């Protein structure tokens, strides 16, 4: 059995070499080596949705680029726009929880905080048939005992371009692209045209730099 694996592995390597050689011939050596070295993962996340005006615009742009993202949804909005939630799911994005009505969970009793999570998870489950596993607590404010109480995995972020504070997509794009590094999680909001524009520009620029966009589970469980 072991020997067979060895042979198969050998074959794989051989095929990879043949492929790499073909690519070198087709393009140029430098481009191929850049692609091989720089397959760095990065994740885009969007909070506070679904948004009736902008989520679909974002989904369309992500689809055109073949890029998945993670959406941390508010239970209250999920109940208002189930079709958009369904669409996010259908397009292959990951859905997480962002509380029911954007509250600071640390200021609530455990019971009330758990209710915020459970109500949102139930609303999402009603639509997509799956319970979210990840939570982005509003304001990044979470009590660690709630990991256990709710069975949720907390997801914070590495880059926050404060996209909600400006309508200048170029500024938001620059803030993210300048800081980006491997395995970063980017915090954004699909709540304005400039944020959607910036997100798509970020995808285009970071793809150029060899980044591969993934959902947050692929970074957290690495």
By beta carbon distance, the residue nearest Ni ion is: 47
Binders of Ni ion in range 82-141 (CB under 5 A): 138
Please, are residues 68 and 112 in contact by the beta-carbon 8 Å criterion? no
Q: Within 10 A of 207 (CB to CB), how many other CB atoms are there?
A: 15
Q: Which is nearer to Ni ion, 163 or 197 (CB)?
A: 163
What is the Cα–Cα distance from 90 to 204, expressed in whole angstroms? 23
Active-site pick, 12, 47, 89, 125: 47
Pairing of β 40-49 and β 70-73: parallel
Verify binding: residue 77, Ni ion, rule CB under 5 A: no
Q: How far is the CB of 201 from Ni ion (least distance, A)?
A: 22
Pairing of β 211-213 and β 40-49: parallel
Q: Catalytic: 93?
A: no
Q: Which of 43, 45, 47, 192 binds Ni ion (CB under 5 A)?
A: 47
Active-site pick, 147, 189, 204, 217: 189
Stretch binding Ni ion (CB under 5 A), from 44-52, 61-69, 127-135, 144-152 = 44-52
Of all residues in the chain, what percent are helix, strand and coil, respectively (each to 5)?
A: 55, 15, 30
Q: How far is the CB of 76 from Ni ion (least distance, A)?
A: 12
Residues with Cβ < 8 Å from 98, sequence gap 6 or more? 47, 48, 72, 73, 74, 120, 135, 136, 137, 138
Element housing 145 (H / E): helix 145-150
Using CB under 5 A, count the residues that bind Ni ion.
3
Tell me the torsion sign for CA atoms 26, 32, 36, 39: negative
Q: Catalytic: 47?
A: yes
Verify binding: residue 163, Ni ion, rule CB under 5 A: no
Verify binding: residue 48, Ni ion, rule CB under 5 A: yes
Q: How far is the CB of 98 from Ni ion (least distance, A)?
A: 6
| Residues lying near Ni ion in the complex (CB under 5 A) | 47-48, 138
Active site residues: 47, 189
């Amino acid at each position: 059995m072991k020997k067979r694996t060895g042979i198969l592995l050998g074959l794989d390597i051989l095929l990879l070499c043949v492929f790499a050689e073909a690519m070198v011939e087709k393009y140029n050596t430098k481009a191929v080596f850049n692609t091989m070295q720089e397959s760095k993962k990065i994740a885009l996340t969007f909070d506070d949705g679904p948004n009736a005006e902008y989520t679909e615009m974002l989904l369309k742009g992500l689809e055109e680029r073949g890029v998945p993202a993670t959406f941390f949804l508010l239970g209250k909005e999920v109940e208002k726009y189930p079709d958009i939630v369904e669409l996010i799911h259908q397009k292959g994005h990951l859905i997480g929880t962002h509380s029911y009505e954007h509250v600071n969970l640390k200021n609530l009793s455990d019971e009330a905080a758990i209710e915020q999570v459970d109500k949102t998870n139930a609303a999402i489950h009603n639509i997509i048939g799956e319970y979210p596993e990840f939570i982005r607590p509003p304001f990044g404010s979470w009590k660690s005992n709630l990991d256990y109480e709710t069975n949720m995995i907390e997801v914070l972020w590495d880059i926050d371009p404060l996209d909600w504070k400006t309508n200048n997509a170029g500024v938001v794009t620059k803030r993210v692209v300048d800081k980006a590094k491997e395995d970063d999680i980017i915090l954004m909001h699909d709540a304005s045209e400039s944020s959607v524009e910036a997100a798509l520009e970020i995808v285009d620029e970071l793809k150029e730099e060899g980044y591969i966009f993934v959902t947050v589970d692929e970074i957290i469980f690495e």
